[in-house]
Amino acid sequence: MAYEMWGGLVALAVLAILGVPVVFAFAAAAGFGLYFALGGLEPAVDLLQQTALSGIKEYNFVVIPLFTVMGMLIAHCGAAGDLFSVVNRMLKGVPGRLAVATVGGNAIFAAVTGVGVAAAAAFSHVAYPAMRDNRYRRSYAVGCIAGSSVLGLLIPPSVFMIVWAILTEQSVGRLFAAGVFPGILLALLYALYCVAAARLRPELAPEGEGAAAPLTPAQVSGSLGVCLLIAVTLGGIWFGYFTPTEGSAVGLFGAAILAVAKGMRLRGLFRAFVESGRTVTPIMLLLLTAVMYSKLIALNGIPQQVQETLESMGLGPGQTMLFMVAVWFLLGMLIDSISIMLLTVPIFWPVAASLGLDPVVFALIGILVIEAGVLTPPFGIGVFVVKAAIPDRDITVRQIFAGAAPYWILILFVAWVVYEWPPLATWLPGRM
């Protein structure tokens, strides 16, 4: 029986790597695995039906589409461009000013969207033309856009954190709080890299950058509107005025008001909702089938078998953590990040808990390492999103991967810092 179960999981991983839609791979593994485990078709179908129903009724699932639509509305209404202009104006005299402004704009924009897709698309159209007009090297410019777009996967409200919280039954609000300081640290390291690279290699970002254009009242008001939205939404969650699900609804309402105030009309609103649907639907289907897959994992005691295997190898908590990091990083080169999380967290989470690893620290390290996979070749979904959105047909995927390499290295560095100094992730959740 154990061999049949492990064979199903190996087949699931192979199918995902070969490009079979992961949602179908999850469903097949869960269906066939439960058939063998329960000894018949009828009990397997009954359990799958109950699991699917409970998954659809999961209250926390609502957070994902609401925060995604919120971010798309902000991106489509032009507020991302306002943030870039305001931050750029504040950085007069800083080497690589436009790149640093891209990082700063993304860091703020990350707090109103849980997906990096919206940030990558928005700043590809806003920041890249400005950098190229000032003779920035293509790889430096696109690497900055791709690298800083993933800040939205760490800085709350992150879809990664929501998915992790659902899979591990943790508090979404606590994980949101845990991501604040590591997210700020990562953004600061990104900005320092941009400045250092521009100073050491002036040809990347010529000193003769044009002066930032004067700000318009619309740009200032748009930026202030985004900051107010962040304060109300995340502040309300952290101070206990409403739950993350209620906060996502409040945030969506505020984003709709801001979008209309910025001039977005019915057609623009409809386009933002359609794009959100295209982003959210695959995630929700994956989550639904992953819940079924988790039942298979728990029913057959696979986490316990993994733990026993690691113990027989003489691995301590630190070495076990390193093993998991290596698995996440290698998978990140082959399949998308959400699928990695759904494949591995149901197995790794019980093992980490049994070893006494802090659940918040473990979550942050996992999210950071999986986040690095968004930028690593050959899959690197964040790189391909930027390639599709950049208004420059001459840019190559190789140039984007090369420019993004320092950013995923910094992500792994922050993951190491969180492991070595846990209060960076645990202090704020401990005050909630």
Q: Please tell me the distance from the alpha carbon of residue 170 to that of residue 129, in angstroms, as a whole number.
A: 42
Going by pLDDT thresholds of 50, 70 and 90, the confidence category of residue 415 is very high
**C-alpha pair distances (Å), 164 with each of 51, 352, 361:** 18, 14, 12
The pLDDT of 351-364, averaged and rounded, is: 88
Q: Answer whether 47's CB lies under 8 Å from 38's CB.
A: yes
Task: Tell me how crowded residue 297 is: count the other CB atoms within 10 A of its CB.
Answer: 22
Return the pLDDT at 185.
Answer: 95
Return the pLDDT at 381.
Answer: 73
Q: Answer whether 386's CB lies under 8 Å from 179's CB.
A: no
Strand, coil or helix: what is 207?
coil
Taking only the tens place, the pLDDT of each residue in 295-326 is 666 666 666 666 677 667 767 778 888 888 98
55's CB contacts (< 8 A; 6+ apart) are: 61, 287, 288, 291, 292
The amino acid occupying position 412 is L
The pLDDT of 24-34, averaged and rounded, is: 69
Higher per-residue pLDDT: 381 or 202: 202
Return the pLDDT at 1.
Answer: 45
396 pLDDT above the threshold of 70: yes
Question: What pTM did the predictor assign?
Answer: 0.81
